[in-house]
A and B are shown apart, each in its own frame.
Chain A
Amino acid sequence: MKGLVLNKENVRLQVEANTWEEAIRYGAGMLVEQGTATQEYVDGIINAINKLGPYIVVADGLAIPHTRPEEGAKAIGCSLITLKEPVIFEGNDPVSVMICFSAVDSESHMDILKMIVEIVDQGIVEKIARMKDVDKLLKFLEEI
């Protein structure tokens, strides 16, 4: 994968979370740490899911938590977490990989979405979920 948007700072593996909300607070909280979103953005994601349903579960095992830029996005950013135990969204299958992102408009974060589509296309969600070493994961993603 060219121009990989992930690195050692925005990937964390085998995170422990009991609920989907906890998992999102962790993954989207990394966007706050990186300075690409505010805490309101994290709350905004959770409110949107409570209101609209889990539209962020886009493939088996994979969720892409995000919300509208005006909810507190400051720049384009993303994080990837894998969960030690999968979390369950209402009416959906278990999720074990989460790619949170912040976007400033409806187009310019295309690289992040391309990566997401590529991961689904290659059928590697489960493989990513099982990985325990960030360097190996990054190398693996670079090579696909």
Chain B
Amino acid sequence: MLNILAVCGAGLGSSFACQMSVDAVLKELGVKAKLDHTDISSVSGTKADIVISGANFKKQFERYELSCPTIFLDRLVDKKEIKEKLTPVLKELGEL
């Protein structure tokens, strides 16, 4: 199953709230996935298929050179933005 990881600074607030919003968007799109959340310092070496994080972490992510698609959000809880940015990635991965 598709693994999606939400990432923020502390790994329990913004990322968890983001995970809840992603969950709602996925339900709307009819895509099943396993969701989790973590903090920025634990993300390197992740086995997730998609990583979602805040735009302010872009620079840090460049250092990690993750092999999976990474989505950067200006508003971590904004379902409209999540849907807009997640849909093309899901299509690319053949989930939609």
Contact = CB atoms under 8 A, between A and B. Distances in A.
Interface in A60-74: 60, 64, 66-69
Given A48-B9, A106-B37, A109-B12, A58 B77 contact: yes
Contacts of A48: 9-10
A52 interface: yes
A54 interface: yes
Instruction: Bin chain A's interface residue count.
Output: 20 to 34
B16 A106 contact: yes
Nearest to B56: A53
A58 B9 contact: no
Contacts, number: 80
Interface stretch (B17-25, B26-34, B61-69): B17-25
Contacts of B20: 113-114, 117
A11 interface: no
A105 interface: yes
Interface of A: 48-49, 52-60, 64, 66-69, 91, 101, 103, 105-107, 109-110, 113-114, 116-117, 120-121
A60 B75 contact: yes
Interface residues of B, number: 24
State the main secondary structure of chain B at its contact with A. Answer: mixed
Contacts of B21: 117, 120
Given A58-B18, A59-B77, A66-B13, 11 more contacts: A55-B14, A56-B9, A59-B75, A66-B12, A106-B12, A107-B12, A109-B12, A110-B16, A113-B13, A117-B77, A121-B24
27 contacts: A48-B9, A49-B9, A52-B40, A52-B56, A53-B54, A55-B54, A58-B76, A59-B78, A60-B75, A66-B10, A67-B9, A67-B10, A68-B10, A68-B11, A69-B12, A91-B56, A106-B11, A106-B12, A106-B16, A113-B16, A116-B17, A117-B17, A117-B20, A117-B24, A117-B77, A120-B78, A121-B79
